[in-house]
Structure 1
Amino acid sequence: MRLLEGQVALVTGAGGGIGRGIALRFAEQGAAVAVHCRTSVEPAREVASLVEDLGGRAVVLQADLADEDECRRVVREAAAWGAGRLTALVNNAAVQPVQELAGMTATDWRTVVDTNLTSVFACTQAAVEVMRERGEGGSVTHIASIEASAPAPAHAHYCASKAAVVMHARSTALEYGSHGIRVNTVSPGLIDREGLAQAWPEGVERWQRAVPLGRLGRAEDIGDACVFLASPLASWVTGHDLVVDGGITARPTW
Structure 2
Amino acid sequence: MPDLAGTVTCVTGASGTIGRGIARRFAEAGSAVAVHHRRPGAAEDVVVAIEAAGGRARAFTAELTEDSACHALLDAVAEWGGRLDALVNNAGVQPVEALADLTAERWREMLDATLTSAFSCTQAAARLLGDGGSVTHIASIEARQPAPGHVHYSAAKAALVMHARGAALEYGPRGIRVNTVSPGLIGRPGLEQDWPEGAGRWRRAAPLGRLGTPEDVGNACVFLASPLASWITGHDLVVDGGVTTHPTW
- Normalised TM-score (structure 2): 0.97
CA distance in 1, matches of 2:110, 2:66: 12
Give the aligned CA root-mean-square deviation in angstroms.
1.1
CA distance in 2, matches of 1:22, 1:57: 14
Structure 2 match to 1:105? 103
- What 5-or-longer segments of structure 2 have no aligned partner? none
- What 5-or-longer segments of structure 1 have no aligned partner? none
Alignment of 1:11-22 (within 5 A): 11-22=11-22
Structure 1 match to 2:195? 200
Structure 2 match to 1:140? 135
1:57-90 Cα shifts (integer Å, max 9, x gaps): 111001111121211111111111112x110000
**Alpha-carbon deviation of 1:41?**
2.1
CA distance in 2, matches of 1:29, 1:241: 22
Structure 1 match to 2:54? 55
Does the 8 A contact of 1:91 with 1:143 survive in 2? yes
Aligned residues: 249
Alignment of 1:216-235 (within 5 A): 216-235=211-230
User: Which of 149-158 and 50-59 deviates more?
Assistant: 50-59
- Normalised TM-score (structure 1): 0.96
**Alpha-carbon deviation of 1:253?**
1.3
Does the 8 A contact of 2:132 with 2:230 survive in 1? no
Dislocated runs of 4+, deviation >6 Å? none
Structure 2 match to 1:10? 10
CA distance in 2, matches of 1:58, 1:184: 24
Structure 2 match to 1:94? 92
Give the secondary structure class of the aligned counterpart of 1:41.
coil
Does the 8 A contact of 2:85 with 2:133 survive in 1? yes
CA distance in 2, matches of 1:69, 1:195: 37
**Alpha-carbon deviation of 1:16?**
2.6
Structure 1 match to 2:167? 172
Does the 8 A contact of 1:8 with 1:32 survive in 2? yes
CA distance in 1, matches of 2:75, 2:100: 40
Does the 8 A contact of 1:15 with 1:40 survive in 2? no
**Alpha-carbon deviation of 1:107?**
0.5
**Alpha-carbon deviation of 1:219?**
0.2
Given the alignment of the two structures, is residue 240 of structure 1 paired with residue 235 of structure 2, yes or no? Answer: yes
Structure 2 match to 1:210? 205
CA distance in 2, matches of 1:231, 1:198: 36
Structure 2 match to 1:23? 23
CA distance in 2, matches of 1:64, 1:192: 26
1:183-242 Cα shifts (integer Å, max 9, x gaps): 000000000001111221111111111111000000000000000000000000000000
**Aligned AA (2:59):** V
1:97-127 Cα shifts (integer Å, max 9, x gaps): 0000101111000110000000000000000
**Alpha-carbon deviation of 1:137?**
3.4
**Aligned AA (2:219):** D
CA distance in 2, matches of 1:7, 1:50: 19
CA distance in 2, matches of 1:138, 1:67: 24
Give the secondary structure class of the aligned counterpart of 2:128.
helix
Structure 1 match to 2:116? 118
